[in-house]
């Protein structure tokens, strides 16, 4: 008889050439919740973030200081930050999204010490998500980045619609590298390349990372942000690992989407990413069981089961 499987963890077999350590950038409380129609109580958001920190996630994006008219779910951004800021330096690990100077002002007033700016690689989504042209959105993000850096606040950059856009179709590699380079030049410490609607496949990931290298953007300044709409997220992470990327965004319980891109479903589930990385012997410092518990508590609040395959298998 074969030995029983270890309790809830895969056997470890390394694959030659992959990184030995990966940073998971947890986006459940922000990207995960932003598209939820029913308002999630602030205390449940704070508890979710605290659970994720306790699970060992090094970065847990907290919320967005976007227009509360555009995203009512995150209108309690200041209260969420107040609920998690109980130690000096604590907010360094909780970036908040800011779309413009007004958002940065509100983030500063709430004590944020890490922010993220976001620009679409495509024209249509720039207008639908930010009510600006793509060019203006990049300028605004650059201005916000310069102001934040001047105040000693770290800035992450996001590029959305890097693989395909529901209105414009496939997105050219250079449309993405232009925006990434612009964000890094302005002072972002890293750029996360978003597959907002989850249409990318592994070869496209490889080509996009290679296009960045060719454009002078080092691979260690890139993160990858996959939505799992077409079931490609883990294959795409694997392609990213092969290309040398060491930061991946994920959302506990696979919650998420974008209210301004109807075809965006949940983010890659943190639990599923952890299963794969654990099996590959890649260190993350994150406790899978604790993430499962955090995700289960949030899906109970949302009133629906987790789409994470690992959560379903171990739940
Ligand atoms: P607008 O309506 O054009 O704004 O929205 P405006 O500048 O014309 O101002 C209108 C009113 O909004 C004014 O108030 C402003 O003060 C106020 P009034 O004078 O009428 O009383 N206002 C604000 N209030 C609070 N916070 C602010 C703010 N800015 C203006 N920051 C705006 C433009 C950019 C504000 C809007 O389009 C917006 O908030 N967009 C954000 C949408 C969003 O959150 N999308 C999802 C995040 S991106 C994403 O999910 C992708 C990602 O996950 C990666 C991936 O998957 O690809 C990152
Ligand atoms: Mg997203």
Domains of the chain, by residue range, sit at 26-314
Question: Does the predicted model carry a pTM greater than 0.95?
Answer: yes
- CA dist., res. 213 & res. 30, Å (int): 29
Instruction: Please report the pLDDT score of residue 1 as a whole number.
Output: 41
Closest CA to 251 of 16, 28, 87: 28
Distance 242 CA to ligand 1 centre (A): 36
Atom of ligand 1 nearest to the CA of 264: 56
SS (H, E, C) the chain: CCCCCCCCCCCCCCCCCCCCECEEEECHHHHHHHCCCCCCCHHHHHHHHHHHHHCCCCEECCEECCCCCCCHHHCCHHHHHHHHCCCCCHHHHCCEECCCHHHHHHHHHCCCCEEEEEEECCHHHHHHHHCCCHHHHHHHHHHHHHHHHHCCCEEEEEEECCCEECCCEECCHHHHHHHHHHHHHHCCCEEEEEECCCCCCHHHHHHHHHHHHHCCCCHHHEEEEEECCCCCHHHHHHHHHHCCCCEEEEEHHHCCCECCECCCCCECEHHHHHHHHHHCCCECCCCHHHHHHHHHHHHHHHCCCCCCHHHHHHC
Classify domain 26-314 at the CATH superfamily level: Aldolase class I (3.20.20.70)
- Ligand 1 centroid to 124 CA: how many Å? 16
| 10-residue stretch averages of pLDDT, the chain, 315 residues long | 62 97 98 94 98 98 98 98 91 97 98 98 98 98 98 98 97 98 98 97 98 98 97 98 98 88 84 98 97 97 93 91
Ligand number nearest CA of 97 is 1
Say what the pLDDT of residue 6 is.
Answer: 56
Ligand 2 centre distance from Cα of residue 196 (Å): 5
Kindly identify the ligand whose nearest atom is closest to the C-alpha of 195: 1
250 Cα: distance to centroid of ligand 2 (angstroms) = 9
Q: Which atom, in ligand 1's list, is nearest to the CA of 258?
A: 50
Closest C-alpha to ligand 1, atom 56: 196
The predicted pLDDT at position 86 comes to 83
Q: What pLDDT is attached to residue 252?
A: 98
Which residue owns the Cα nearest ligand 1 atom 36?
130
Ligand 1-lining residues (CB < 6 angstroms): 31, 34, 64-68, 70-71, 97, 99-100, 102-103, 106, 118, 129-131, 158, 160, 194, 196, 225, 258, 260
Contact assessment for residue 179 and residue 137, using Cβ atoms and an 8 Å cutoff:
no
Atom index in ligand 1 nearest the CA of residue 260 equals 45
Q: Which atom of ligand 1 is nearest to the CA of 158?
A: 58
Cα of 64 from ligand 1 centre, angstroms = 10
Hey, whose CA ends up nearest to atom 17 of ligand 1?
67
* Ligand of minimum distance to the alpha carbon of 266: 2
Nearest CA to ligand 1 atom 22: 67
Q: Tell me, yes or no, if 247 is annotated catalytic.
A: no
């Amino acid at each position: 008889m074969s030995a029983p499987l270890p309790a809830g963890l895969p056997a470890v077999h390394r694959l030659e050439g992959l990184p030995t350590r990966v940073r998971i950038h947890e986006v459940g409380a922000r990207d995960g919740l932003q598209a939820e129609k029913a308002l999630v109580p602030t205390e449940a958001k704070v508890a979710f973030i605290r659970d994720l920190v306790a699970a060992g996630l090094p970065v847990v994006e907290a919320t967005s200081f976007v227009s509360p008219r555009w995203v009512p779910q995150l209108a309690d951004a200041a209260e969420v930050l107040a609920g998690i800021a109980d130690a000096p330096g604590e907010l360094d690990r909780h970036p908040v999204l800011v779309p413009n100077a007004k958002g940065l002002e509100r983030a500063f007033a709430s004590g944020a010490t890490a922010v993220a700016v976001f620009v679409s690689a495509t024209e249509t989504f720039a207008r639908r998500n930010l009510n600006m042209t793509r060019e203006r959105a990049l300028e605004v993000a650059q201005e916000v980045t310069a102001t934040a850096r001047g105040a000693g606040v770290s800035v992450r950059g996001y590029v959305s619609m890097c693989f395909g856009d529901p209105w414009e179709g496939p997105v050219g590699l250079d449309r993405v590298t232009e925006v990434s380079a612009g964000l890094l030049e302005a002072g972002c410490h890293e750029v996360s390349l978003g597959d907002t609607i989850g249409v990318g496949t592994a070869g496209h990931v490889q080509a996009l990372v290679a296009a960045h290298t060719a454009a002078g953007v080092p691979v260690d300044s890139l993160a990858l942000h996959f939505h799992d709409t077409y079931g490609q997220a883990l294959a795409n992470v694997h392609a990213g690992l092969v290309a040398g990327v060491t930061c991946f965004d994920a959302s506990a319980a696979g919650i998420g989407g974008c209210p301004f891109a109807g075809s965006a479903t949940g983010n890659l589930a943190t639990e599923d990413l952890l299963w794969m990385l654990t099996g590959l012997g890649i260190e993350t410092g994150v406790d899978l069981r604790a993430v499962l518990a955090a995700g289960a508590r949030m899906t109970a609040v949302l009133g629906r089961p987790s789409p994470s395959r690992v959560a379903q298998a171990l739940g």
